[in-house]
Amino acid sequence: MLPDPSPTVTVDGLLLRPLRTADEIAAREADAELHREGFDFLMAGTRSFPATLRALAADARGDVEPGRVPASFYVGVDEAGELVGRVSVRWELNEALRHVNGHVGYAVRPAFRRRGHAVRLLRGALTLLAARGVPAALLTCDETNTASVATIRACGGVLRDRVETGLDGAPFPEPKLRFDVPTTAA
């Protein structure tokens, strides 16, 4: 298997690094926890864990299928070695990502919330984007996701607009907010 070339970064004691084979139990636990909230931690469907690692490494190398963009998947590991969350960094945007989802997606496991981990995950992603020459990141979230709005604003996010429909014109179940976030402030 070719390795994941994604660089690592540490932000205020939180290490952002690619997912590893040794993370399987914690990653599956995180996936189950977040799945109960309607969110996928692993973003891999029903693949085996080794297949998930291979797919994530291919995405990070830029070996992507048409319509997809190069992206890196990071886990956030605290000082105690606990996997507290994840962040996905999309190194470039296609039309769909420019509409919603943007450069970064993140999640914090329920037991680790309200400790500043989301801000550290996002700051790490912004630092990595800055190192790749991306001056500002697009981030989106549901309008009612007040925790995510606060995280994005804490990292310098400025509201760009509100989007009510997908590219196909179908209405979203709830409107999305789009923010521009400078990567240099990370």
User: Could you tell me what percent of the chain has a pLDDT over 70?
Assistant: 96
**Number of C-alpha atoms within 13 angstroms, CB side, residue 150?**
8
Question: What does the pLDDT read at residue 129?
Answer: 97
What confidence tens digit (pLDDT) does each residue in 71-129 have?
A: 999 999 999 999 999 999 999 999 999 999 999 999 999 999 999 999 999 999 999 99
**Sequential DSSP letters for 77-96:** E-TTS-EEEEEEEESS--HH
Q: What is the value of pTM for the model shown?
A: 0.94
What confidence tens digit (pLDDT) does each residue in 14-35 have?
A: 999 999 999 999 999 999 999 9
Determine phi and psi for 149, rounding to 5 degrees: -60, -45
CATH superfamily of this structure's domain 9-135:
Gcn5-related N-acetyltransferase (GNAT) (3.40.630.30)
Instruction: Give the pLDDT band (50/70/90) at residue 46.
Output: low
Strands 171-182 and 158-165: antiparallel
Instruction: Say if residue 186's pLDDT is above 70.
Output: no
